[in-house]
A = this chain, B = another copy of it.
Amino acid sequence: MPRIVVIGGVAAGMSAASQARRRQPEAEVVVLERGRHVSYGACGMPYNLEDPARSMEDLVVLTPEKVRERGIDLRTRHEVLALDPAARTLTVRDLDADRTGTLAYDALVIATGASPVRPPIAGIDLPGVFFLRELRDGQALKRHLAEARPERAVVVGAGYIGVEMAEALVKRGLGVTVVEKLGQAVPGFEPAIAEAVREELEGHGVAVETGVTVQGIERAGSGLAVVTDRERYPAGLVLVSVGVRPNVALAKAAGIRLGETGAIAVDPGMRTSAPGVFAAGDCAEARHLVSGRPVWVPLGTTANKQGKVAGANAAGADETFAGIVGTAAFKVFDVEVARTGLGFEEAKRLDRDAVAALSRHASRAHGYPGGRTNTTVVVAERGTGRLLGAQMVGETAAKRIDVFATALHAGMSVEDVEGLDLSYAPPFAPVYDPVLIAATVARKEAAAGRAVPVPAATS
């Protein structure tokens, strides 16, 4: 009986195991998970934290028992210490039993995920300083909110997680300051989009301090203080969210090839450089369909899709993962923020002759109450007008960006986008959807070849 082993039991790992189970019912499918929880929606933690009444365990989709009922040999609290691709064996530590053994595999899926970057500053390990990655991180943070009842929080890092957590903490009644080293909120987004995010945060009472370097965290009275090159911010809670890194130590030590991004290099079938070894999710690269290059964009949706392909192929199939176009989205208070494709700076780094076109347009019809002014930046190739990317902030921005994502998959020009027959009704769109307006503006910019009124990030 062949044995398929999966390292990691969250998004990619659980998808891989389920798919392998379905594809090869006679195989033994083993999942090794270092933590206690598997199959949970980590992305939901900021929203769960908002509501003191909800248990963090609500985010668990399948309990370990349910996973086992499905015929998967799930071993939680099992850490893989080493991988020998030649011998096809793993060295596995049972953390509870404090015992180490060897496990052979016929096919292996590495789904070790990513870990938060821990900046090397004093006080990073003090009680009251949190990271948010695994379910237990969320549980610890929620417990701290309930027990220590902090009045002020400092969020270090203004990426997705930082911004989502700023909102969650405001909703829990805390005063929140976000400090960001770079010159804008949500680095990686176009400046005009970042500015709208800042406005939304500030409009809800969040202090956003950009261009600030954190020097350390120290005890202050019964709480903490975040010391920066600008000010000293007292806080009863500090959340550090300055990015994540792929967990590749195991693969690297086993001689498996890493890509230029630092994540595990894979082919479209999620195969690594070692025979019989697949990788999927936040530890692996994906091909960017616009640039044609391998990229590392750790997101739950890609993790699930890659896991499915890795699991199928570990069970003998020959599936492929199409690749990504870099779509990502989050919500901050009353607006959605989303992007797809290449940013303007990214396009320039890839030597694309790009323009970035800024437009602002109502999200609903004239005379229909409510709605927002959506801000859109479209990146297009000068001359040809080929769509390279788009970013939007406002109402229903995520599903509007999906139109651009679809257009990127199809290799459309902004003129093609302009001609799309998109849905219209007063409650959810004006006659010309913000997507169409943005495409029209971009078509003109790309044709004129003018550079753009989007100020560069000041970072």
Contacts and interface: CB of A to CB of B under 8 A. Distances in A.
B366 A329 contact: no
A233 interface: no
B420 A406 contact: yes
Contacts of A423: 327-329, 338, 340, 398-399, 401-402, 405
A59 interface: yes
Contacts of A47: 367-369, 426-427
B428 A399 contact: yes
A410 interface: yes
Contact of A367 (B44, B322, B327, B428): B44
Contacts of A327: 421-424
Contact of A365 (B43, B365, B422): B43
Contacts of A365: 41, 43-44
A323 to B, nearest CB: 8
A412 B365 CA distance: 30
Given A44-B366, A402-B402, A419 B322 contact: yes
A398 B421 CA distance: 12
A367 B48 contact: yes
B416 A304 contact: no
Interface string A273-313: 00000000000000001000000000111101000000000
A224 B41 CA distance: 56
Work out how many copies of this chain go into the complex: 2
Contact of A426 (B43, B419, B421, B428): B43
A182 interface: no
A396 interface: yes
B405 A324 contact: no
A282 to B, nearest CB: 13
A405 B424 contact: no
A56 to B, nearest CB: 9
A201 to B, nearest CB: 16
A41 B402 contact: no
A366 B412 contact: no
Interface in A403-417: 403, 405-407, 409-410, 412, 416-417
A402 B405 contact: no
Contacts of A43: 365, 424-426
Contacts of A427: 47, 331, 336
Interface of A: 11, 41, 43-44, 47-48, 51, 58-59, 61, 289, 299-302, 304, 322-331, 336, 338, 340, 365-369, 396, 398-403, 405-407, 409-410, 412, 416-417, 419-429, 431-433, 435
Given A401-B423, A409-B419, 5 more contacts: A47-B368, A47-B427, A289-B421, A398-B428, A402-B420
22 contacts: A41-B426, A43-B424, A44-B365, A44-B366, A44-B367, A47-B369, A47-B427, A58-B367, A61-B366, A289-B421, A300-B424, A301-B421, A326-B421, A328-B423, A329-B424, A329-B429, A340-B421, A400-B402, A406-B412, A406-B422, A409-B419, A410-B412
